[in-house]
Amino acid sequence: MSAQNSEEKSGDTPSTTDNTETPSSSGSTTENPGLSFSMEQLRRYLAEKLSLRDEDSSGERQKVKILDNVNLDGIVEHIKKNNCRNVITMAGAGISTSAGIPDFRSPGTGLYDNLQKYNLPHPQAIFELDFFHENPKPFFVLAKELYPGSFKPTVCHYFIKMLAEKELLLRHYTQNIDTLERVAGIPDDKIVEAHGTFYTGHCLGCHHKYTLDWMKERIFKDEIPICEKCPGVVKPDIVFFGENLPDKFHNLIGQDFPKCDLLIVLGSSLVVQPFASLIDRVEPKVPRLLINREKAGHQTGILSLLGMSSGMDFDSKDNTRDVFWGGDCDTGCQLLADKLGWGDELREMVKKEHELIDQKNKNTATPPKSADEKQSDTKSKDKPKEKEKGEGTEKEKQSEKTDQ
């Protein structure tokens, strides 16, 4: 899901000079103090502002070395050596893959096939407001499958929780709507759900607020939640296409990312804006780690030619801060924890937390009936009631009198 791109202007802009020359209409050059730097001046300005190069004794500019080793070991060294206390994690759908979250976009899956009877023009239509107003039923079919409590957090979720418990986590930004971060126990004030949450909902008509439990009760009865104040449909606070991202997202990115001393991106393809652009908000000397099945967020565009960060720079010979680890997020996070000396602690946390979830579900859920129990119920319904002693139909009683 995405929202409209809301770009913010930087507070640092190059000032103009009286020596700026621009072509005049006659082809000659004239001084124009109202225009910005030339390309070379702008390049030098940006390089200085980004502080990526220091001058040596000869006046030559040298690349600043950020990580001694541009790999996972280098990230571990950075965490230990620099006493990181402001780690930011950014997460996409890849961190929930092993939790078994159903894929409603892929043909052949049960949920996808179930949704097709609603004649979706395309799977993403579920998250389009126009389609939702016309037919909200498919969204609530999906919502029932995704609702909090149906799935267990993954190793990756608990690694993020461990960062919080060790007071290393500044903030966790997530694109996911499965709320598994909350289930894992990551503190609410540490979580920014960029694409919204199931935990609250609002009426599309009068905007009255509703709780998770109120909505869940109706959704699990296969009902469309209708407002108690007006006839409007109550929609969970999930960000649909074209909707603005939550205020919390916009309020915190400006204060969080300048403080960041390590950025860890987990299971995101880094294509959905404005979430994807957050990787460029950290300071140029801050290491960035991507744990994902494939590389993402590559540095592209004219800004990279100007010396301005515009994505990950994994393959450049000048790269000393961007690290890619290829594989699934659980394996990557467990490996990182092992290298940090937290491996056994993480394994024990996952085991303990999953046992608690199993016990909670066992205590609250009604056990499903076995096949034998269902068959017994069916036979009971079909079998005629046995007559109590002394009872009989009027016809039977009359027959008895005649026989006498």
CATH number at residue 308: 3.40.50.1220
Structural domain includes residue 161: yes
Q: 128 and 43, same structural domain?
A: no
Picking from 238, 272, 290, the residue at the C-terminal end of a domain is: 238
Categorize the per-residue pLDDT at 112 as very low, low, confident or very high, splitting at 50, 70 and 90. low
* 329 marked among binding-site residues: yes
* 226 marked among binding-site residues: no
Residue 35 has pLDDT above 50, yes or no: no
**C-beta of residue 216 within 8 angstroms of C-beta of residue 147:** yes
Q: 200 and 175, same structural domain?
A: no
In degrees, to the nearest 5, what angle opens at C-alpha 133 toward C-alphas 129 and 136? 95
**What is the C-alpha end-to-end distance of the chain, expressed in Å?**
84
Q: What is the pLDDT of residue 16?
A: 36
Of residues 331 and 103, the one with the higher pLDDT is 331
- The tokens describing 192, both together, are 């920014």
d(CA 197, CA 308): 34
Q: 115 and 132, same structural domain?
A: yes
Q: Which of 114-123, 193-202, 378-387 has the lowest mean pLDDT?
A: 378-387
Q: 122 and 90, same structural domain?
A: no
Percent of the chain exceeding pLDDT 70 equals 68
Q: What is the pLDDT of residue 147?
A: 78
Picking from 206, 238, 270, the residue at the C-terminal end of a domain is: 238
d(CA 102, CA 110): 8
In degrees, to the nearest 5, what angle opens at C-alpha 107 toward C-alphas 105 and 111? 65
Q: 221 and 336, same structural domain?
A: no
Most confident of 17-21, 261-265, 386-390: 261-265
CATH number at residue 210: 3.30.1600.10
Structural domain includes residue 389: no
* 292 marked among binding-site residues: yes
Q: 282 and 222, same structural domain?
A: no
* 177 marked among binding-site residues: yes
Categorize the per-residue pLDDT at 363 as very low, low, confident or very high, splitting at 50, 70 and 90. confident
Q: Averaged over 223-237, what is the pLDDT?
A: 96
* 93 marked among binding-site residues: yes
Structural domain includes residue 25: no
Q: 166 and 146, same structural domain?
A: no
Structural domain includes residue 337: yes
* 95 marked among binding-site residues: yes
Q: Averaged over 58-85, what is the pLDDT?
A: 83
Q: 117 and 44, same structural domain?
A: no
d(CA 172, CA 170): 7
Q: What is the pLDDT of residue 114?
A: 67
Q: 176 and 115, same structural domain?
A: no
Q: 205 and 189, same structural domain?
A: no
Categorize the per-residue pLDDT at 198 as very low, low, confident or very high, splitting at 50, 70 and 90. confident
Domain that includes residue 312, residue range: 39-100+154-194+257-362
Structural domain includes residue 206: yes
**Arithmetic mean of pLDDT over the chain:** 79
Q: 92 and 158, same structural domain?
A: yes
Categorize the per-residue pLDDT at 46 as very low, low, confident or very high, splitting at 50, 70 and 90. low
Phi first, then psi, for residue 327 (nearest 5°) are 155, -175
Structural domain includes residue 329: yes
Q: Which of 98-112, 201-215, 240-254, 266-280 has the lowest mean pLDDT?
A: 98-112
- The tokens describing 77, both together, are 């060294």
Active-site residue set: 195
* 97 marked among binding-site residues: yes
Count the Cβ atoms, other than its own, within 10 Å of residue 389. 5
**C-beta of residue 249 within 8 angstroms of C-beta of residue 192:** yes
- The CA distances from residue 231 to 132, 213, 239, in Å, are 15, 20, 22
In the chain, how many domains are there?
2
Q: 264 and 187, same structural domain?
A: yes
